[in-house]
Amino acid sequence: MPSLTSLLFRYGDLRLEANLPTEVVATLPVELRNVGTLSFSMTADIPNNFSLAITLDTEPHIRIRTQVGYNRETGVLSTGLVIQSTEKSCTIPDAAEVQTQLQAAGRRATTALQNFLNPPTPAPSTSGESGPALPPEIARAVELGSAIGDLYSKAKAAGAGQRCITRPVWSLDFGARIPVNPPGAGPDIFGPSERERAPQPYFGLGFTYHF
């Protein structure tokens, strides 16, 4: 007889058998506008264990996670709810160099803006110069646009290079284990019945502060 992890197909003399994976893990994140990210995670160890978790990461920095699982070998249903406060810390590699580049780009943009709003006295032309020259107003506008673009590029590169870590601050969790299919009640060779040795219902509440 095929197991729960195999698929058997017969048609006349044709026999086809395929083995199914014994473990399945899947995660699906869903972005919620103005709320956060909702993630569904499922783990199945066929045919014994099944677990489904739903996590909601909200703004600002609250994570709510609920999970339910069933163990076929022990007949125990487990469920849990965790409410967690998180904080995000970000670091930038070579922060001193990035700061120097941003300051230089900022000074260039400030100077270009001042020259655009308060045009300086034009320098006298040097004899012997050839080729067309941009009007001073156009040249100042081009320099201002270039300086702003350079500042934006430097700031964007600094943001892309940063490394952020989200860690928990405190957690409030509630958990329960409930036998839904305990073994039979008949006596065994060891004396106590299997039901007496079966897992008992458990309910717990905990609070953790993460240092």
Q: Is pLDDT at 171 greater than 60 in this prediction?
A: yes
Beta strand ranges found along the chain (DSSP E): 6-11, 14-19, 23-32, 36-45, 49-58, 62-71, 76-91, 163-179, 202-209
pLDDT band at 197 (very low <50, low <70, confident <90, very high): low
Instruction: Report pLDDT digits (tens) over 63-74.
Output: 898 999 988 877
Please tell me what DSSP assigns to residue 198. Answer: S
Strand partners of residue 71: 49, 76
Q: Please give the structure tokens belonging to residue 94.
A: 């070579």
Strand, coil or helix: 95: helix
* Nearest-angstrom CA–CA distance, 70 and 43: 11
pLDDT band at 125 (very low <50, low <70, confident <90, very high): low
pTM of structure: 0.51
Q: Rounded to a whole number, what is the distance in angstroms from the first to the last CA of the chain?
A: 54
Q: How confident is the model over 81-90, as a mean pLDDT?
A: 87
Q: Which of 11-20, 48-57, 99-108, 133-142 has the lowest mean pLDDT?
A: 11-20
Q: How confident is the model over 129-144, as a mean pLDDT?
A: 74
- Give residue 189's pLDDT: 45
Q: Is pLDDT at 90 greater than 60 in this prediction?
A: yes
- Give residue 79's pLDDT: 92
By the 10 Å C-beta count (0-12 exposed, 13-18 middle, 19+ buried), 147 is classed as buried
Mean pLDDT of the chain: 76
